[in-house]
């Protein structure tokens, strides 16, 4: 492929000539123009000799073996073991916006537990009119809601603060997934228990915990709990996977993933936050002066180019090139994504595959031409609040270098003349 494009004028037309030669190359190219399409048809016909497999009965389908590198991966040195650990979504190899559950990242604090629907219970206690315990069947009887949301771990891109520069979008930005959730509104459950006893809800909190050993308890302002939070049973149409909280998890749209409590078992209405480990010593950002930013729940607007990227180099040579990536904002819809090829000096506006959805991934494309020039690729997301994704320098200026969480800065990939890409910093 590369050679057949070499030296070609980077125009659509020369791309086509390239395409002809490419097809010809494996099909008696010389004959193509002379003999017309027949030799090619003949070659194509040979494919029909491929044997076909019958339809499956019962087994759940898996990707074709040629795609066995499109899997979630962990980073050995990142955590002491795998029980309190994380792996990463292979976003460099995906397109569109939906993340298949089978390669959607996992983050556990005490491992993924196996909880039968029959054993599942969800308690609501504290400042409610009637303390209650619901079975799974009970939950399914409340009015259902459906919505697609991204879930991003607060630590996503965290290793980039100090410039670890992991070589791949999967590792720098893969603590994210985007699924269509089906479940019930958290509001409907809280209203079932009754919030009269709680009085003024403005200063009330909901403490949520999971059934795993860590419990992963977090305090959520009642205002958010009554807004758009869900108790989800299903993701992308099917039951939640074990590693994503089967049979029920909390969905907290736009807010850091640690709040999306898996295997949720208890919710307590309180008049103050619990100040749990997960919201004090963890998931807060230590600033230069030693103080910490706390209650940093919302994931600000962010984006990343997924291809080309270190794991997805340009292999097809010069001419037309599709630059693509993902953008998202915890504050609402993505309204625009800009792309720079020169490290942020000049910008072009990318094409959004569809209008931005509220707190969900947006796929962007830039249809361009590449003639082998070096590129410092960046993407910059804007959301409906007018917020603009910051540069790493700008973010460090206000946050310092002690932070781990909430790094939403602009990512740079250096693309060399061979189309290979690497993670670099530009200042």
**What is the DSSP secondary structure assignment for residue 350, as one 8-state letter?**
P
Intra-chain end-to-end CA distance of the chain, in Å: 35
Nearer to its own copies, 243 or 256 (CB): 243
Distance CA 279, CA 272 (A): 13
Considering only 30, 80, 114, 386, the residue that binds its own copies (CB under 8 A) is: 114
358 binds its own copies (CB under 8 A): no
Which parts of 62-81 interact with its own copies (CB under 8 A)?
62-64, 66-68, 70-74, 81
CB atoms within 10 A of CB 330: 22
Tokens describing residue 23: 């097809």
Distance CA 223, CA 198 (A): 13
Determine the longest span between alpha carbons in the chain, in angstroms: 86
What is the closest distance, in whole angstroms, from the C-beta atom of residue 326 to its own copies in the complex?
Answer: 10
Which parts of 254-273 interact with its own copies (CB under 8 A)?
263, 265-266
Select the span of 87-95, 149-157, 250-258, 413-421 touching its own copies (CB under 8 A): 87-95
Nearer to its own copies, 110 or 291 (CB): 110
What is the closest distance, in whole angstroms, from the C-beta atom of residue 21 to its own copies in the complex?
Answer: 10
Residue 177 pairs with which residues in a beta bridge? 151
Nearer to its own copies, 74 or 416 (CB): 74
Nearer to its own copies, 115 or 222 (CB): 115
96: left (phi over 0), alpha (psi -120 to 50) or beta: left
Quick check: 354 and 368 in contact, CB under 8 A?
no
What is the closest distance, in whole angstroms, from the C-beta atom of residue 317 to its own copies in the complex?
Answer: 9
Considering only 161, 187, 205, 213, the residue that binds its own copies (CB under 8 A) is: 213
Residue 216: closest CA among 257, 169, 162 = 257
Select the span of 29-37, 164-172, 276-284, 400-408 touching its own copies (CB under 8 A): 29-37
Nearer to its own copies, 19 or 287 (CB): 19
44 binds its own copies (CB under 8 A): yes
Distance CA 383, CA 348 (A): 17
What is the closest distance, in whole angstroms, from the C-beta atom of residue 104 to its own copies in the complex?
Answer: 8
Q: Residue with structure tokens 């993933």?
A: 257
Which parts of 160-199 interact with its own copies (CB under 8 A)?
180-182, 192
Residue 170: closest CA among 283, 81, 67, 86 = 86
Nearer to its own copies, 242 or 396 (CB): 242
CA contacts within 13 A on the Cβ side of 165: 11
| Interface characters, 302-341, with its own copies (x: CB under 8 A) | -------------xx--xxxx-x-----------------
Considering only 30, 34, 47, 77, the residue that binds its own copies (CB under 8 A) is: 47
Residue 149: closest CA among 36, 256, 46 = 256
What is the closest distance, in whole angstroms, from the C-beta atom of residue 46 to its own copies in the complex?
Answer: 9
Distance CA 317, CA 21 (A): 13
What is the closest distance, in whole angstroms, from the C-beta atom of residue 82 to its own copies in the complex?
Answer: 3
Nearer to its own copies, 119 or 373 (CB): 119
54 binds its own copies (CB under 8 A): yes
Query: With CB under 8 A, what is the number of residues at the site for its own copies?
Result: 128
* Paired sense of beta strands 85-86 and 421-424, if any: unpaired
Select the span of 18-26, 284-292, 332-340, 384-392 touching its own copies (CB under 8 A): 18-26
Distance CA 416, CA 188 (A): 54
Distance CA 60, CA 264 (A): 27
| Interface characters, 236-255, with its own copies (x: CB under 8 A) | xxxx-xxx--x---------
Quick check: 292 and 286 in contact, CB under 8 A?
yes
What is the closest distance, in whole angstroms, from the C-beta atom of residue 33 to its own copies in the complex?
Answer: 9
Nearer to its own copies, 17 or 402 (CB): 17
CB atoms within 10 A of CB 243: 18
């Amino acid at each position: 492929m590369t050679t057949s494009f070499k030296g070609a004028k980077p125009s659509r037309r020369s791309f086509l000539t390239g395409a002809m030669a490419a097809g010809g190359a494996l099909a008696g190219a010389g004959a193509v123009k002379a003999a017309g399409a027949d030799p090619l048809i003949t070659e194509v016909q040979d494919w029909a000799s491929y044997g076909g497999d019958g339809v499956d009965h019962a087994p759940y389908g898996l990707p074709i073996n040629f795609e066995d590198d499109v899997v979630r991966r962990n980073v050995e040195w990142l955590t002491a073991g795998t029980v309190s650990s994380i792996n990463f979504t292979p976003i460099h190899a995906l397109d569109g916006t939906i993340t298949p559950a089978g390669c959607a990242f996992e983050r556990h604090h005490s491992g993924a537990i196996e909880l039968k629907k029959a054993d599942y219970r969800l308690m609501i206690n504290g400042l409610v009119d009637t303390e209650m315990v619901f079975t799974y069947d009970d939950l399914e009887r409340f009015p259902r809601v459906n919505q697609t949301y991204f879930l991003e771990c607060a630590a996503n891109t965290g290793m980039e603060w100090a410039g670890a520069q992991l070589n791949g979008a999967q590792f720098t930005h893969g603590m994210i997934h985007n699924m269509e959730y089906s479940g019930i509104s958290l509001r409907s459950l809280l209203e079932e228990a009754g919030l009269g006893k709680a009085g003024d809800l403005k200063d009330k909190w909901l403490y949520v915990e999971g059934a795993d050993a860590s419990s992963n308890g977090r305090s959520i302002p009642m205002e958010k709990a009554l807004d758009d939070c869900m108790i989800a049973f299903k993701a992308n149409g099917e039951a939640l996977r074990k590693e994503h909280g089967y049979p029920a998890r909390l969905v907290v749209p736009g807010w850091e993933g640690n709040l999306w409590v898996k295997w949720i078992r208890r919710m307590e209405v309180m008049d103050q936050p619990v100040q749990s480990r997960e919201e004090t010593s963890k998931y807060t950002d230590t600033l230069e002066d030693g103080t910490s930013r706390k209650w940093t729940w919302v994931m600000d607007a962010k984006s990343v180019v997924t291809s080309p990227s270190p794991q997805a180099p340009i292999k097809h040579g010069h001419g037309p090139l599709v630059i693509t990536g993902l953008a998202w904002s915890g504050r609402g819809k993505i309204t625009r994504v800009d792309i720079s090829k020169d490290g942020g000096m000049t910008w072009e506006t990318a094409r959004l595959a569809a209008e931005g959805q509220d707190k969900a991934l947006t796929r962007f494309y830039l249809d361009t031409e590449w003639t082998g020039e070096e590129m410092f690729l960046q993407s910059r997301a804007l959301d409906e609040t007018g917020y603009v994704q910051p540069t790493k320098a700008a973010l460090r200026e206000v946050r310092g270098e002690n932070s781990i969480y909430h790094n939403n800065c602009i990512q740079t990939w250096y693309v060399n003349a061979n189309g290979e890409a690497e993670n670099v910093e530009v200042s």
